Structure 1
Amino acid sequence: MTDQVQDSSDIEAIIPQHELEYDTDYEIGQDNVEVLGLDIHNPVFFLSAAIILLFSVLTLMFPDQAGDFLGHAKQSTLRTFDWLFAATPVIVAVFAITLCVTPLGRIRLGGAEATPDFSILSWIAMLFAAGVGVGFMFWGAAEPLVYHAGTWGTPLAAEVGTPEADRLAFSATLFHWGIAPWAIYAVAGLALGFFAHNKGLPLSIRSAFYPLLGERVWNWPGHIIDLFAVVSTLFGLATTIGLGATQAANGIAYLFGFEPSIWMQIALIMSMTGLAVISVIRGMDGGVKLLSDINMGIAFLLLIFVVIAGPTVLIFTGLGEHLWSYVTDTPALTDWRDRPDLNWFHDWTIFYWAWWISWSPFVGMFIARISKGRTVREYFSVVLLAPFAICVVWFTAFGETAIGQHDAGIGELANEVTDSSIVLFQMLAELPFSMISSIAAVCLLIVFIVTSADSGALVVDTITSGGKTDAPVGQRVFW
């Protein structure tokens, strides 16, 4: 899979040598100040911390008003810009494919002599854990099931119980979790990685805008870009951690037969924060990489268990069927014009696209950091296709098992879904060794949350330290 670049002349044939390096006097961390032993960028660190603190205080003081305001803002944004959100994944996917099939695909991140820092398996594990791990746990069984049952509407307004609705339950799920989010992440990551590893610029969001802004990127235009990236990353992480903590708390309560509470969620979040702090202190290799490898091992075992204990034949036959349905249904699912399912489209597809875009600074920058030494062609091939392959297998296995139980009237999934967070545990309850598999699922979910929080802290710390990747440990712990 790895593309070998024989010497620098291969790259010079693609891009003139003078374009490979920017003539800038900026030095990484030159605007930083030292406060209480921290090495922080002024003003990005202070402004982003102030915005997050102010937002948290206001939402705690005025929860109802904040909920109404944010809900209205969300709906207005989805209605007004649905066309832009819908078009974005298509544009970036076409751009990624174009780079792969042209000579530009031979460019290596970090230069012709650069070598990868991580093995291919560890690289994929970190991609998966940071990008979609928590979402796979939350929606792996629930999303195909609620589409199939029409709990909150169906894709393209298909009639529940028809072959079309059954097909779209999976093609819409793969549409949301497959190529689209990873195309967004991959293009963001390539831009950041290229300018950091090949151009010698700081590993920061502003660096990708250097061709447009020039030296102004080191002043307030760049400060605003990095500030926006930090805030959107932290808000996106808060959503994921909130979903994950809710599912973990509800799953534990479901397993042991007691009512979940907000205090249990708080205790879980505090415990996971403690684990994330330990992981952050251990650094990239001893923290994120180690946790990602553990994640993939547990996830693989859980997946194999569901395939064997669930409707095995249906799962294997469904792999090809759902993949083909994804290909054939994608144009209709992408088209925002005259939708018969406009509410569903806004509540699911456009919400997902907005979520992925809000995560792109975080995940893209994390991917850039771990992808040095890969060619552009190898980079896109793995970042787009490896998570998509996992997506197809994961949602097919968990979705077919959950839908099979629903249609056969087995267990609690025979009833209408009222709480998406416990669908996974309701499904596992009807399989052999349910307690063991459910505990494994809770552990996997917790480690995924810790990995996401750890990765996010590393990325935010890099941005708020002026592009430094070796900032003091206490700084990473703060975030």
Structure 2
Amino acid sequence: MDALARRLGLRTNPQIFFTSAGLMVVILALLLIFPGTIGDGFTAARTWVTTNLGWFFIFGVTAWLVFLVWIAISKYGDLRLGKADEKPAYGRVSWFTMLFAGGIGTVLMFWGVAEPISHFSTPPFPGVEPYSAAAAEDAMNVALYHLGLHTWTIFTLPGLAFGFFIYRYDLPMRVSSVFYPFLKERIHGPIGKTIDVFAVLGTLFGLAVSLGLGTSQISAGLSALTGLSDSVLVRVLVITVLTAVATVSVAVGLDKGIKRLSNINIGMAVGMMLFVLFTGGATVFLLRELVESAGNYLAALPGLSLWNDALANATQDEGWGWQAGWTVFYWAWTVTWAPFMGVFLARISRGRTVREFIGGVLVAPSLFTLVWFVIFGWSAMEIDGIGGEGGPISAAVAESVPLAMFTFFESFPWTPLLQGLTVVIVALFFATSADSAALVVDMLCSGEDEEGPVGQRVFWAVCLGALAALLIMLGGDEAIPALQEVITVVGLPIFILVFAMIPALLVGLRSERRRVLRGDHDVTPMEEIERDPEETPSG
């Protein structure tokens, strides 16, 4: 493999690269040859996972959030993701736009209107009347629960672990490096490489699902604007075009390509949000709801964080009902992003302290998500009629979720312009997610904190686009349920992997703090882990 890598001009770990690439090709081939059989298999597996382990997903993410808050306020918060005197690589504004646009920008565009309206018209809690004021408040609380602190917890935990071990311990830019406290030098052997191959494949699946959702929204927007059929063929063509755009961006590189696209895209999204706030005729109402919804969310968060709907689920024979399609799906989907977002966040956060990293990555995007959902979600519910019987937006969501944002803009001036801008923003979020993923997957294979040869990055961008296209084809007209089934199954083993990062991180933090307190610069972090804690002050 080493000789083949040299002949091809690759700068990567050949075992990880060729194994991941080979398995990726096999998966793509199987999806093409046996779409029906694979689809049925994912359906059965997803039912088993949600029925028997849905509680594990819900408890797990909440436990991670509590752990991160404790770490941030603990004695370990002053440790730096890098050398003791290292400065942050990017300014705060660029840092925020990059982590957001590379994170859930596509998700907010897709669900910003659709999720609150879905819960508003079909309340998740028994006894709540659809379209009532109580339904509206519950809808906002649940939407913020799904895409607020808990979602960013799933990104923050691996990001902290990667940044700490990769930059503090000078370990390779790979997922296996996080488990150095347990595996030691075996991270370079078969066990470590297996972890890394699995992380690469999980990342590709997670991003492919996101791109599939974004493509469905773009296709729906083109249909609304031009009358073009919202078909599987159109979605595949959209993916093809946007994959080409992402490929160009990833070839340009992080600073010129991804950073520039991120800054442009977040600016356009904020502009659209402010337009809705000030031109929809409900500005004061939305500002009042911004304050009230923040309080409602924080008050409801403890209960929602551990809610399992246990009594209702005990009476069901199949699956997990509502939470299987929403909460469990969200956590399983988001955790497949964990290797990608973790390495990406570590890459752009080098030099920041543990406390600054946790606070920035957890709080800043969650606040933006709050503002986004309040402005779009409450505007949509107000247009649909709070206390009424539903309106055009809930009807559109019932017909096709990707239509939600485009139907929403029919109540605003300059409708065609806004709908067209929505398509452009989703397309750019698609491109930033795809090129960020290609860059990170290449780093996971090479283990280097540098951009590899253009050919390597382009290869992964093309693989990502191909997988997204095949998942769309696998789902056909029911693409969204099919994507949910695939990602719930793929997410389980990655969820377990991220859980295992907590004890590894605790060992690393404690060991490094001992070394810092002792001021022993002749001992490396790896050597410190080997020491008996009783030999040195614990602090």
Q: 1:302 to 1:172 in 2, by over 3 A?
A: same
Give the match for residue 263 of structure 2. 293
Give the match for residue 331 of structure 2. 353
Cα distance in 2, alignment partners of residues 229 and 155 from structure 1: 36
Cα distance in 2, alignment partners of residues 158 and 359 from structure 1: 34
Q: Provide Cα deviations, 1:89-120, integer angstroms capped at 9, x if missing partner.
A: 21111111111112211112111221111110
Give the match for residue 22 of structure 1. none
Q: CA deviation at 1:161?
A: 3.8
Give the match for residue 95 of structure 2. 123
Q: CA deviation at 1:157?
A: 6.4
Q: 1:156 to 1:114 in 2, by over 3 A?
A: farther
Q: 1:192 to 1:457 in 2, by over 3 A?
A: same
Give the match for residue 54 of structure 2. 82
Give the match for residue 29 of structure 2. 57
Q: CA deviation at 1:323?
A: 1.5
Q: Confirm or deny: 8 A CA contact 1:292 1:451 kept in the other structure.
A: yes
Q: Confirm or deny: 8 A CA contact 2:251 2:454 kept in the other structure.
A: yes
Residue from 218, 232, 235 that aligns with 1:262? 232
Give the match for residue 509 of structure 2. none
Summarize the alignment of residues 425-464 of structure 1 with structure 2, pairs less than 5 Å apart.
425-464=406-445
Cα distance in 2, alignment partners of residues 422 and 65 from structure 1: 30
Deviates more, 1:173-182 or 1:355-364: 355-364
Q: 1:339 to 1:138 in 2, by over 3 A?
A: farther
Cα distance in 1, alignment partners of residues 310 and 36 from structure 2: 34
Cα distance in 1, alignment partners of residues 163 and 99 from structure 2: 15
Cα distance in 2, alignment partners of residues 67 and 317 from structure 1: 46
Q: CA deviation at 1:70?
A: 0.8
Cα distance in 1, alignment partners of residues 193 and 127 from structure 2: 44
Summarize the alignment of residues 205-284 of structure 1 with structure 2, pairs less than 5 Å apart.
205-284=175-254
Q: 1:32 to 1:374 in 2, by over 3 A?
A: farther
Partner SS for 1:260: coil
Q: Provide Cα deviations, 1:142-197, integer angstroms capped at 9, x if missing partner.
A: 100010001xx524663324443221100000000000111121110011011111
Cα distance in 2, alignment partners of residues 376 and 201 from structure 1: 18
Give the match for residue 392 of structure 2. 412
Deviates more, 1:447-456 or 1:426-435: 426-435
Give the match for residue 14 of structure 1. none
Aligned length: 449
Cα distance in 2, alignment partners of residues 439 and 161 from structure 1: 29
The runs of 5 or more residues in structure 2 that have no matched partner are 314-319, 461-539
Q: Provide Cα deviations, 1:58-84, integer angstroms capped at 9, x if missing partner.
A: 111121111111111112111121121
Deviates more, 1:450-459 or 1:399-408: 399-408
Provide TM-score, normalisation by structure 2.
0.80
Cα distance in 2, alignment partners of residues 113 and 31 from structure 1: 40
Partner SS for 1:43: helix
Q: Provide Cα deviations, 1:403-461, integer angstroms capped at 9, x if missing partner.
A: 12211789732636211101100001220111111111111000000000011001100
Q: CA deviation at 1:31?
A: 11
Summarize the alignment of residues 267-416 of structure 1 with structure 2, pairs less than 5 Å apart.
267-310=237-280, 311-333=282-304, 334-336=306-308, 338-340=310-312, 342-407=320-385, 412-413=392-393, 415=395
Q: Confirm or deny: 8 A CA contact 1:109 1:376 kept in the other structure.
A: yes
Cα distance in 2, alignment partners of residues 58 and 157 from structure 1: 45
Summarize the alignment of residues 94-109 of structure 1 with structure 2, pairs less than 5 Å apart.
94-109=66-81
Q: 1:156 to 1:234 in 2, by over 3 A?
A: farther
Q: Confirm or deny: 8 A CA contact 2:203 2:339 kept in the other structure.
A: yes
Summarize the alignment of residues 177-196 of structure 1 with structure 2, pairs less than 5 Å apart.
177-196=147-166
Letter in 2 for 1:204: R
Cα distance in 1, alignment partners of residues 96 and 311 from structure 2: 36
Partner SS for 2:172: coil
Residue from 111, 114, 120 that aligns with 2:86? 114
Cα distance in 2, alignment partners of residues 378 and 40 from structure 1: 32
Q: Confirm or deny: 8 A CA contact 1:233 1:362 kept in the other structure.
A: yes
Q: Confirm or deny: 8 A CA contact 2:117 2:377 kept in the other structure.
A: yes
Cα distance in 2, alignment partners of residues 268 and 197 from structure 1: 38
Letter in 2 for 1:441: T
Deviates more, 1:92-101 or 1:366-375: 92-101
Q: Provide Cα deviations, 1:255-275, integer angstroms capped at 9, x if missing partner.
A: 122322222222211111111
Q: Confirm or deny: 8 A CA contact 1:155 1:345 kept in the other structure.
A: no
Cα distance in 1, alignment partners of residues 239 and 248 from structure 2: 14
Deviates more, 1:82-91 or 1:455-464: 82-91
Give the match for residue 176 of structure 1. 146
Percentage of identical aligned residues: 37
Q: Confirm or deny: 8 A CA contact 2:393 2:408 kept in the other structure.
A: yes
Summarize the alignment of residues 191-206 of structure 1 with structure 2, pairs less than 5 Å apart.
191-206=161-176
Cα distance in 1, alignment partners of residues 40 and 53 from structure 2: 20
Cα distance in 2, alignment partners of residues 470 and 133 from structure 1: 23
Matched, 1:47 2:28: no
Give the match for residue 523 of structure 2. none
Q: CA deviation at 1:400?
A: 1.2
Deviates more, 1:315-324 or 1:130-139: 315-324
CA RMSD of aligned residues (A): 2.0
Q: CA deviation at 1:343?
A: 1.0
Q: Provide Cα deviations, 1:289-334, integer angstroms capped at 9, x if missing partner.
A: 1111011110110000111122212211111222122122223322
Letter in 2 for 1:291: L
Matched, 1:422 2:403: yes
Letter in 2 for 1:174: L
Cα distance in 2, alignment partners of residues 155 and 227 from structure 1: 41
Partner SS for 1:299: helix
Give the match for residue 494 of structure 2. none
Give the match for residue 519 of structure 2. none
Q: CA deviation at 1:348?
A: 0.4
Cα distance in 1, alignment partners of residues 134 and 265 from structure 2: 35
Q: 1:403 to 1:337 in 2, by over 3 A?
A: closer
Partner SS for 1:39: coil
Q: 1:43 to 1:103 in 2, by over 3 A?
A: same
Cα distance in 2, alignment partners of residues 31 and 412 from structure 1: 61
Give the match for residue 533 of structure 2. none
Give the match for residue 142 of structure 1. 114
Provide TM-score, normalisation by structure 1.
0.90
Q: 1:320 to 1:468 in 2, by over 3 A?
A: closer
Q: Confirm or deny: 8 A CA contact 2:145 2:297 kept in the other structure.
A: yes
Q: Provide Cα deviations, 1:28-85, integer angstroms capped at 9, x if missing partner.
A: xx99942411123132111111222111111111211111111111121111211210
